[in-house]
Amino acid sequence: MNFGVSCYLYPRIQAAKIMTNIRTIVFDLGGVLIDYDLQRCLDAFRRLGLPAPERLIDPYKQSGVFLALENGSAQPEDLYRYVSEQVGHPVDPRAVDEAWCRFLIDIPDYKLDMLRSLRRRGYRLFMLSNTNVIMFEWIRRNLFTKQGLAVEDYFDRIYLSYEMKLVKPEPAIFEKMIADSDILPSETLLIDDGPANVTTAATLGFHTYEARIHEDFRSLFDRYPIKP
């Protein structure tokens, strides 16, 4: 969905008056760069026999063992064991991985092109994502290799919740990124589809944009020129 520069665009931008100071752009993954389908994931886990997966799986922040995977306090083996216990018999870990990654659809080529274009223009690009090792390795192998490159070729820094032991929307994950990279929030635009994530970032002084799923937000960079 592309809202262009319509009246729907402006309310989702915070601190737009000084966006010409932007030097760094921080992208979320799911719902911003990668299209997802929550229902596909829930249906896949139900087919495995997992009861009420919707209690645990959410587009923005997980619960239970799924949250533990995202904040790095659990490993994939803990998920496999949990699913098998809930189902009542051993479940092939590969089937669990497949069900979990059904959440993800694809990253459009035009968004990969956008990332490369923004880097050529001199912006520093960061990734800040609530994710887990199972999903991220699938993303690394299957999505960011489409143009013959690696995920590291699209970003200057990559910050992943399971490695940082923190999750959005906790302020601490943003503060850790700031401390590690020496960025200035006043010179940084965060693009995220999670309302709570956007709110936290805004309170810390970031410029923010709340993306909608499947949205083509490239016009954001044309409507509000961002100069390094």
Catalytic positions are 28
Burial 70-93 (b: 16+ CB within 10 A, else e): bbbebebeebbbbbbebeeeebeb
Cβ count near 210 (within 10 Å): 22
Q: What is the DSSP annotation of 79-142?
A: HHHHHHHHHTS---HHHHHHHHHTTEEE--HHHHHHHHHHHHTT-EEEEEE---HHHHHHHHHH
Cβ count near 121 (within 10 Å): 11
Angle subtended at Cα 219 by Cα 213 and Cα 148, rounded to the nearest 5 degrees: 70
Cβ count near 39 (within 10 Å): 11
* Count of residues making up the chain: 228
Closest CA to 30 of 64, 65, 70, 63: 70
- Rounded CA-CA distance 51/41 in Å is 13
CA 215 to chain centre: 14
